[in-house]
Structure 1
């Protein structure tokens, strides 16, 4: 229980009707979860407007309401707080309600199109191996030190973020690494959090169904760095031209990393094979089990971040050599027939290109590279032909299939992917709508030493079709089919 006036600290208020000298038992923005004595925050979402549910929340026992527009009917005994932006207010209220938990640990946010999950997860793993209590807020999972929770969004809503940060406080977590998505920034979910650092990985084509233009997408990412304090660090990849854009208005201490450009933290790939990478990081060599050029960037980012957070260089290098790959990120299995199957989350044109170029740089070219790929429904449609073009240009065979079609017809999505295939690559591609059958076909086509890439879903253990989620795990399914071939 906390006084309403206390959880409104730092909230920009336009008007108050009623008393703020009342107790709040809990806070929610979902009217269905409201119980007696709660504060209801009416936020405007993409599907529903919380202002339409103010009466419902009051009927369920809400004693205080935060909204952007006061309702015409004011109920006696209920306090109304009118604010400029209720999503922003919710984030600050959530932080205050949970006693500003981000102040009591060292929170680092990771943003960018590709690499967020890998960088955040590897930092969690590295600091755990260094002996610290660590938290993780990621697409794959949420970790409160050793306790795992299921993740539902890349960046959870602000109440959920602060709830988990509060739990981390309770068990003595010292460091927390958090994926920060463009949606999360745009919807003010990270407002009111005290970040000690921000990391920018890269920026490429994604989420243009939501942001409309690439410039808007870039500027939303930049806003995260604009909000960092002068006590924080900003670490950016300057091989991506948008890296320096992120630093333009930040008050944070500025650091850069790169493989190709001049930077504070430099890396060079000495060896690149399916067993891992040998890297030269600044002046030291390190071996890692992670694979590919894109992971050279990820390793460099975690090396730099760990040093900025106070770990010794020699210790960081030792820990990097012990890191394990992240679920659904270039995970691979080799069958008894010496067929290599790789499962990767690559669901953007840039990520798919990176993974395929990595495989092509390692393979001998005497074997086939068979790619199984699709695109999600109800998402950015403009990337579909690009994915089709990249897959067929960089593979020897391609099977287009269903990803998470959601409410769209799979055949419509596949038709748009196929539009990107150039005439000289027509013979490389076939379409099998059923994803399980597509994976089976790839396994049947493959000969000893061939490579199968199954892209797009990575760590996901479901397929979303017409509002329902069905069990579906790319890695398990390809392992089953490869075993059948050995019989």
Structure 2
């Protein structure tokens, strides 16, 4: 059992009604998951204000309520703790409840629009190959050394983060690599965590359905670096114009990486082909199985983090050359009849442009590039015409289809996309709402040597329609369809 007064350490408490010298069972912010002697933290969410559930959780026997607004009637059997920000309080209390696990390992956060999953996952793989016990908190999965858990958010909630970190510490993990999303930063899920380093990849159009504008999106990313301690490192991509912005007011040790600019960590692409990349990193040549300029940036960031964490340079380069692509990130197969299929998570205009430009850099132009792409429902609508414009500009043929329509009409989403197609590209595209049928049609259109890009969902193994997640794996489906077409 934990003492409430210990769990409240470092929390900005405004008032307390009752004694904090009591034992508590566990923390909960979901009113459906509370039990006797729990602490319930009432959070004002974007959809629901959990303060309205205070009477019902008291009926279930909670002993402590942490809230921003006191209810009209206080129950004398319950301790009420008033805080300025319940989300921040939850994060700090979760850190305390689990014994401050992030202080007991080396935690590195990776933020930016694109590249987070690849960098975090490949850092996990590199450190594992180097003989360390490692943890991973990513969009695709959570790994506690070899134990795998399915991820539900890019940045899990504060209780889940600290629970996983505690499990890592208990299992002897020494390093953990964590994707840090703008949502996670904004919702204070990373508050209270002790980071030894932060990485900024790039910033482009994304999540403007959640953030008011691009400036807010940028500033939320920046706040992560503002809070890094002096003992940590801040590593930023200065080929991105926002890289130096991240370092303003940052007290951490500052490091830069780039392909085009003078930087602490500098790479140059010597060869870029379908088989991989030949690079120099700080003057040392290294071959990688990964493809494309965007992966050159990812590899450079990975090398830099490993170097800053003490991995010897030769070992660092050796393992870097062994790393393979992450599920759903430029994952490709070549069918028996010579069609190249690429599955990529590209779900923003910038990411789609990067992938199509990467394909352009390695193609011969004797083949067609056929792109299947959609946009998510209940998300930023402004990127839909932009993605359609990019797809039709940089492909020979495009099929607009469903991504995760969620509660929106899939045809409405496609209509929004079509508005971005310029007149000269009208003949390049067609629309097929059913995603499997769209992939099948693209496969039937492809001839030997053609490149088939399935964009938008990447590693996801589901398609969400009206609140229901149905099994759907782009890589699995395109593999099956190409086999069928070869018969």
- The TM-score, its normalising length taken from structure 1, stands at 1.00
Which ranges of structure 2 fall in alignment gaps of 5 or more residues?
none
Report what 1:430 is aligned to: 430
Asked if residue 236 in structure 1 is aligned to residue 236 in structure 2, the reply is: yes
Report what 1:361 is aligned to: 361
Shift in Å, 1:72? 0.7
Matches within 5 A, 1:110-189: 110-189=110-189
Instruction: Write out per-residue CA displacement over residues 349-380 of structure 1, whole angstroms, 9 at most, x where no aligned residue.
Output: 00000000000110000000000000000000
Shift in Å, 1:173? 0.2
Instruction: Write out per-residue CA displacement over residues 232-255 of structure 1, whole angstroms, 9 at most, x where no aligned residue.
Output: 000000000000000001110000
Report what 2:226 is aligned to: 226
SS at match of 1:195: coil
Between 1:43-52 and 1:134-143, the stretch displaced more is 43-52
Q: How many residues align?
A: 487
Report what 1:328 is aligned to: 328
CA–CA separation in structure 1 for the residues paired with 2:205 and 2:31:
36
CA–CA separation in structure 2 for the residues paired with 1:262 and 1:216:
28
CA–CA separation in structure 2 for the residues paired with 1:384 and 1:212:
17
Report what 2:311 is aligned to: 311
Report what 2:33 is aligned to: 33
CA–CA separation in structure 2 for the residues paired with 1:196 and 1:316:
19
Report what 1:372 is aligned to: 372
CA–CA separation in structure 2 for the residues paired with 1:259 and 1:186:
30
Asked if residue 260 in structure 1 is aligned to residue 268 in structure 2, the reply is: no
Instruction: Write out per-residue CA displacement over residues 157-199 of structure 1, whole angstroms, 9 at most, x where no aligned residue.
Output: 0000000000001000000000000000000000000000000
Instruction: Write out per-residue CA displacement over residues 184-232 of structure 1, whole angstroms, 9 at most, x where no aligned residue.
Output: 0000000000000000000000000000200000000000000000000
CA–CA separation in structure 2 for the residues paired with 1:60 and 1:290:
53
Shift in Å, 1:486? 1.4
Shift in Å, 1:50? 1.0
Matches within 5 A, 1:26-105: 26-105=26-105
Report what 1:407 is aligned to: 407
CA–CA separation in structure 2 for the residues paired with 1:222 and 1:57:
37
Instruction: Write out per-residue CA displacement over residues 257-296 of structure 1, whole angstroms, 9 at most, x where no aligned residue.
Output: 0000111000001111111100010110001111100000
SS at match of 1:449: coil
Shift in Å, 1:385? 0.3
Which ranges of structure 1 fall in alignment gaps of 5 or more residues?
none
CA–CA separation in structure 2 for the residues paired with 1:431 and 1:29:
43
CA–CA separation in structure 1 for the residues paired with 2:59 and 2:133:
43
CA–CA separation in structure 1 for the residues paired with 2:307 and 2:461:
35
Task: Output the aligned Cα RMSD.
Answer: 0.4
Shift in Å, 1:61? 1.2
SS at match of 1:209: coil
Shift in Å, 1:478? 0.4
Asked if residue 192 in structure 1 is aligned to residue 207 in structure 2, the reply is: no
Asked if residue 398 in structure 1 is aligned to residue 390 in structure 2, the reply is: no
Instruction: Write out per-residue CA displacement over residues 22-44 of structure 1, whole angstroms, 9 at most, x where no aligned residue.
Output: 01110000011000010000011
CA–CA separation in structure 1 for the residues paired with 2:337 and 2:126:
35
SS at match of 2:438: helix
CA–CA separation in structure 2 for the residues paired with 1:7 and 1:410:
47
SS at match of 2:43: coil
Report what 2:249 is aligned to: 249
Instruction: Write out per-residue CA displacement over residues 47-92 of structure 1, whole angstroms, 9 at most, x where no aligned residue.
Output: 1111011111111111001000111110011100000000000000
CA–CA separation in structure 1 for the residues paired with 2:270 and 2:50:
55
Asked if residue 215 in structure 1 is aligned to residue 212 in structure 2, the reply is: no
Report what 1:288 is aligned to: 288
SS at match of 2:94: helix
CA–CA separation in structure 2 for the residues paired with 1:95 and 1:137:
16
- The TM-score, its normalising length taken from structure 2, stands at 1.00
Instruction: Write out per-residue CA displacement over residues 293-334 of structure 1, whole angstroms, 9 at most, x where no aligned residue.
Output: 000000000000000001111110000011111010000010
CA–CA separation in structure 2 for the residues paired with 1:336 and 1:166:
47
Instruction: Write out per-residue CA displacement over residues 387-420 of structure 1, whole angstroms, 9 at most, x where no aligned residue.
Output: 0000000000000000000000001000000000
Asked if residue 465 in structure 1 is aligned to residue 465 in structure 2, the reply is: yes
CA–CA separation in structure 1 for the residues paired with 2:375 and 2:330:
18
Instruction: Write out per-residue CA displacement over residues 80-132 of structure 1, whole angstroms, 9 at most, x where no aligned residue.
Output: 00000000000000000000000000000000000000000000000000000
